[in-house]
Amino acid sequence: MLVVMDEIKQTLKTNGFSGDVEDSAEKLEFYSHDASMFEIKPKLIIAPKTANDVSLAVKLVTDSKRKNKELSLTARSAGTDMSGAAINDSIIVDFNRHLNKIISVKKDKAIVQPGLFFRDFDAKTGDYLLPSFPASKDLCTVGGMVNNNSGGEKSLEFGKTDKYVPELKFIFADGIERIVKPLDRDGLNAKMGQDDFEGKIYRDLFELIDKNYDQIKAAKPNVSKNSTGYNLWNVWDRETGIFDLTQVIIGAQGTLGFTTEATFRLVPRPKHSGLLVLFMHDTHQLGSLIKTVLEHKPATFESFDDATLWLSIRFMPSFLKVLGPVRFIHLLITLIPDGLQLLRGIPKLILMVEFTGNTEEEVRAKIRKLHKELSHVRARYEINGFEEDATEAKSEKFWIMRRYSFQLLRSKVKDKHTAPFIDDLIVNPEYLPEFLPKIRQVIKKYKLFATVAGHMGDGNFHIIPLMNIERESERQKLLPAMKEVNELVLKYHGSLSGEHNDGLVRGPWLEQMYGRDMVDLFRDTKHIFDPQAIFNPHKKANADWDYSYSHIREKF
Ligand SMILES: Cc1cc2nc3c(=O)[nH]c(=O)nc-3n(C[C@H](O)[C@H](O)[C@H](O)COP(=O)(O)OP(=O)(O)OC[C@H]3O[C@@H](n4cnc5c(N)ncnc54)[C@H](O)[C@@H]3O)c2cc1C
């Protein structure tokens, strides 16, 4: 294999690859990890400078694959994937290093390269916003968001990334970059009439979806957000006559090909926002509370638990690095009243209900109305926000705890490690009062110390256990705990992933969720796009638990 990689390196150079090609021990070690609990060492890293570089690499691997079955390409942007989908044992293609430019921003439309950090993009979109940003918004790239179909705190109001990508540039397995966008019947017929690889993809995928139309539509998970499987149900609509290939590519985790450019539709950035924070000491009234809050149609409805709160307090000084001195001091000052409150006992659950509007008065009125209606719920309330520039100044402390808890766990707790394996389940919020205590029982049964934070309004929870997964005895908990959690999620008609996607960790359980026939359709889809399996193997529908299990991190 090393000889093969030497040949690949040589051929890339002679064919005019203009990016970086690396295989030093430090680089291979660095690219062995993403934010998941897995570890796989690649053999080569390439960081393309142009789409042509990406094409060259894809063509080369396609041509060499017949002789060297182990060759593959895995895209990586910022590497914050929690499912293990940004690592692999062959060639990693780093999009973040060079393919990170904004091509144009015009009010509600932006065209960008995939390796662009969301934070840099967001700073340039003025009065408009890409609203599907994840909690990792300061760390991730827009390409990662597209390929994971990311969502976050604003998804309750705006949905996920798949709603905001009207057009993509995509490199298919034949190494050719093409535009992908929704087509009407004439456009689809024209594509299907082409005598090339693209024509075959459109023909084969149309046939697959049309033949299994009812089964595919019925398989769509009945939750507000889903990142499992391939979004086949959103591709072909017999009623509108629209065939939209972007929908199967978004969220495919780079298993079908590579995104080289994305067009985003942006929404007006809310001018004013305000937060109603509820500190709940007992959660018996959670069911009626969720119902009431959702009836008021908040912009966001987030939550985190007592373990997350403790963690944030314990590691408060580390926020200095994230925030800088001025914001950090402000954070400490705003925390004083909460510190006094905590002396009266740690709340079990903190709920954050955010409203937005065009004027401060409008936001205030919305918050007051909900506050009044919730007066029967035993909880302490805090109302804050209303910043002119929506910088969240006073409410920032809650957002920080909500968004940064996983990062804190990863970087600060040294004797144990984050093990995201039940980190993204979602059920309809109506089931939460029954579902959450049952999930807590599983966590207790396996003696897992875990933080639970999430998007209450969507019923989407991030459970992050802290474990010594380098120990066999701890690793052995993973399979039975995961099976029990999955069964519970499916019993309540949920999905195993609302946002974080399948990768190595959830791919093996797609059959449990969708059944064999549907997983066969996912595998057929992968084969249509990637007949030689050059893109990101062992992920999503082609994942296998034995393989994933054998790559759980052993050293930290
Ligand atoms: C602290 C923390 C909080 C998080 N919170 C959320 C959350 O709230 N919601 C959420 O959705 N996710 C969340 N995540 C997971 C992750 O950050 C997001 O999914 C993010 O969008 C991934 O972006 P990235 O640039 O790091 O992508 P990467 O990790 O580099 O890649 C993600 C996937 O996309 C593929 N990919 C990347 N670039 C391309 C490309 N150009 N072409 C084809 N495929 C490509 C990769 O192969 C991989 O499968 C969180 C992660 C962390 C560490």
Which residue CA neighbors atom 31 of ligand 1 most closely?
144
Give the number of the atom of ligand 1 that is nearest the alpha carbon of residue 405: 1
Cβ–ligand 1 contact at 257 (below 6 Å) = no
For residue 514, pLDDT beyond 60: yes
Cβ–ligand 1 contact at 147 (below 6 Å) = yes
Q: State how far the Cα of 389 lies from the Cα of 138, in Å rounded to an integer.
A: 19
Closest by CA position to 51, among listed 115, 8, 4: 115
Mutate to test the pocket of ligand 1, among 58, 72, 73, 81 (most ligand atoms within 8 A of CB): 81
Cβ–ligand 1 contact at 132 (below 6 Å) = no
pLDDT of residue 408: 73
Q: Per-residue confidence at 391, pLDDT binned at 50, 70, 90?
A: very low
Q: Going by C-beta distance under 8 Å and a sequence separation of 6 or more, which residues neighbour residue 56?
A: 12, 15, 16, 17, 175
Closest by CA position to 257, among listed 176, 190, 191: 176
pLDDT of residue 336: 57
Q: State how far the Cα of 410 lies from the Cα of 419, in Å rounded to an integer.
A: 9
Kindly tell me the burial class for residue 447, based on how many C-beta atoms sit within 10 Å of its own C-beta (0-12, 13-18, 19 or more): exposed
Distance from the alpha carbon of residue 291 to the mean position of ligand 1, in angstroms = 31
Q: Per-residue confidence at 46, pLDDT binned at 50, 70, 90?
A: very high
pLDDT of residue 387: 47
Q: Quick one: DSSP state of residue 544? A: -
pLDDT of residue 485: 97
Determine which of 63-72, 255-264, 304-313, 356-365 has the lowest per-residue pLDDT on average: 304-313
Q: Tell me the one-letter amino acid at 60.
A: L
% pLDDT > 90, the chain: 74
Q: Quick one: DSSP state of residue 270? A: P
Q: Going by C-beta distance under 8 Å and a sequence separation of 6 or more, which residues neighbour residue 336?
A: none
Q: State how far the Cα of 259 lies from the Cα of 167, in Å rounded to an integer.
A: 11
Distance from the alpha carbon of residue 114 to the mean position of ligand 1, in angstroms = 11
pLDDT of residue 342: 60
Q: Which two tokens stand for residue 294?
A: 């959702």
Give the number of the atom of ligand 1 that is nearest the alpha carbon of residue 253: 49
Tell me the mean pLDDT in the region 385-396: 52
Pairing assessment for the beta strands 91-94 and 44-47 based on DSSP bridges: parallel
Distance from the alpha carbon of residue 8 to the mean position of ligand 1, in angstroms = 27
- List Cα–Cα distances, 105 to 119, 129, 178, 247, in angstroms: 15, 11, 21, 23
Tell me the mean pLDDT in the region 203-231: 98
Distance from the alpha carbon of residue 186 to the mean position of ligand 1, in angstroms = 35
Which residue CA neighbors atom 9 of ligand 1 most closely?
134
pLDDT of residue 16: 95
Distance from the alpha carbon of residue 82 to the mean position of ligand 1, in angstroms = 7
Q: In what order do the strands lie in the sheet with 258-265?
A: 102-106, 109-112, 258-265, 167-171, 177-180
Backbone angles phi, psi at 265, to 5 degrees: -95, 130
pLDDT of residue 388: 43
Higher pLDDT, 486 or 414: 486
Q: Per-residue confidence at 544, pLDDT binned at 50, 70, 90?
A: very high
Asked if residue 348 lies in contact with residue 338, where contact means CB atoms within 8 angstroms, the answer is: no
Asked if residue 429 lies in contact with residue 484, where contact means CB atoms within 8 angstroms, the answer is: no
Asked if residue 257 lies in contact with residue 171, where contact means CB atoms within 8 angstroms, the answer is: yes
Distance from the alpha carbon of residue 371 to the mean position of ligand 1, in angstroms = 36
Tens digits of residue pLDDT in 437-467: 999 999 999 999 898 998 999 999 999 998 9
Average pLDDT, the chain: 91
pLDDT of residue 316: 67
Q: State how far the Cα of 187 lies from the Cα of 242, in Å rounded to an integer.
A: 9
Closest by CA position to 346, among listed 279, 293, 263: 279
For residue 416, pLDDT beyond 90: no
Q: State how far the Cα of 157 lies from the Cα of 98, in Å rounded to an integer.
A: 33
Tens digits of residue pLDDT in 142-184: 999 999 999 999 999 999 999 999 999 999 999 999 999 999 9
- List Cα–Cα distances, 26 to 8, 30, 34, 72, 346, in angstroms: 20, 6, 15, 21, 44
For residue 531, pLDDT beyond 80: yes
- Segment of 188-192, 310-314, 403-407 carrying the highest mean pLDDT: 188-192
Q: Tell me the one-letter amino acid at 450.
A: A
Cβ–ligand 1 contact at 100 (below 6 Å) = no
Helix, strand, coil % (nearest 5) of the chain?
45, 20, 35
Tens digits of residue pLDDT in 344-380: 667 888 899 999 998 988 998 999 899 899 887 765 6
Asked if residue 477 lies in contact with residue 514, where contact means CB atoms within 8 angstroms, the answer is: no
Mutate to test the pocket of ligand 1, among 30, 140, 178, 540 (most ligand atoms within 8 A of CB): 140
Q: State the CB neighbour count (10 A cutoff) for residue 468.
A: 13
Give the number of the atom of ligand 1 that is nearest the alpha carbon of residue 539: 49
Mutate to test the pocket of ligand 1, among 121, 149, 150 (most ligand atoms within 8 A of CB): 150
Q: Which two tokens stand for residue 14?
A: 């002679």
For residue 393, pLDDT beyond 80: no
Q: Per-residue confidence at 26, pLDDT binned at 50, 70, 90?
A: very high
E strand or H helix at 370: helix 360-373
For residue 287, pLDDT beyond 90: no
Distance from the alpha carbon of residue 81 to the mean position of ligand 1, in angstroms = 4
pLDDT of residue 22: 97
Residues pairing with 110 in the sheet? 105, 264
Q: State how far the Cα of 449 lies from the Cα of 351, in Å rounded to an integer.
A: 21
Give the number of the atom of ligand 1 that is nearest the alpha carbon of residue 114: 41
Tell me the mean pLDDT in the region 400-411: 76
- φ/ψ bin of 84: left (φ > 0), alpha (ψ from -120 to 50), beta (otherwise): left
Closest by CA position to 342, among listed 301, 397, 405: 397
Tell me the mean pLDDT in the region 310-331: 67
Q: Quick one: DSSP state of residue 38? A: B
Asked if residue 502 lies in contact with residue 514, where contact means CB atoms within 8 angstroms, the answer is: no
pLDDT of residue 556: 77
Torsion angle of alpha carbons 12, 14, 19, 25, nearest 10°? 60
pLDDT of residue 389: 40
For residue 551, pLDDT beyond 70: yes
Give the number of the atom of ligand 1 that is nearest the alpha carbon of residue 455: 8
Give the number of the atom of ligand 1 that is nearest the alpha carbon of residue 151: 11
Closest by CA position to 466, among listed 404, 401, 421: 421
Give the number of the atom of ligand 1 that is nearest the alpha carbon of residue 99: 41
Cβ–ligand 1 contact at 418 (below 6 Å) = no
Closest by CA position to 36, among listed 148, 153, 151: 148
Distance from the alpha carbon of residue 193 to the mean position of ligand 1, in angstroms = 35
Q: State the CB neighbour count (10 A cutoff) for residue 305.
A: 24
pLDDT of residue 337: 57
pLDDT of residue 390: 41
Which residue CA neighbors atom 21 of ligand 1 most closely?
145
Asked if residue 363 lies in contact with residue 273, where contact means CB atoms within 8 angstroms, the answer is: yes
Tens digits of residue pLDDT in 256-275: 999 999 999 999 998 888 88
Mutate to test the pocket of ligand 1, among 72, 77, 408, 534 (most ligand atoms within 8 A of CB): 77
Distance from the alpha carbon of residue 80 to the mean position of ligand 1, in angstroms = 5
Distance from the alpha carbon of residue 354 to the mean position of ligand 1, in angstroms = 25
% pLDDT > 70, the chain: 91
Closest by CA position to 399, among listed 168, 53, 138: 138
pLDDT of residue 456: 93
pLDDT of residue 284: 78
Three-state DSSP class for 551? coil
Q: Per-residue confidence at 328, pLDDT binned at 50, 70, 90?
A: low
Give the number of the atom of ligand 1 that is nearest the alpha carbon of residue 147: 34
Q: State how far the Cα of 435 lies from the Cα of 276, in Å rounded to an integer.
A: 25
Closest by CA position to 334, among listed 427, 400, 266, 235: 400
Higher pLDDT, 92 or 348: 92
Distance from the alpha carbon of residue 175 to the mean position of ligand 1, in angstroms = 23
Cβ–ligand 1 contact at 34 (below 6 Å) = yes
Distance from the alpha carbon of residue 155 to the mean position of ligand 1, in angstroms = 16
Tens digits of residue pLDDT in 98-133: 999 999 999 999 999 999 999 999 999 999 999 999
Determine which of 81-95, 324-338, 416-430 has the lowest per-residue pLDDT on average: 324-338
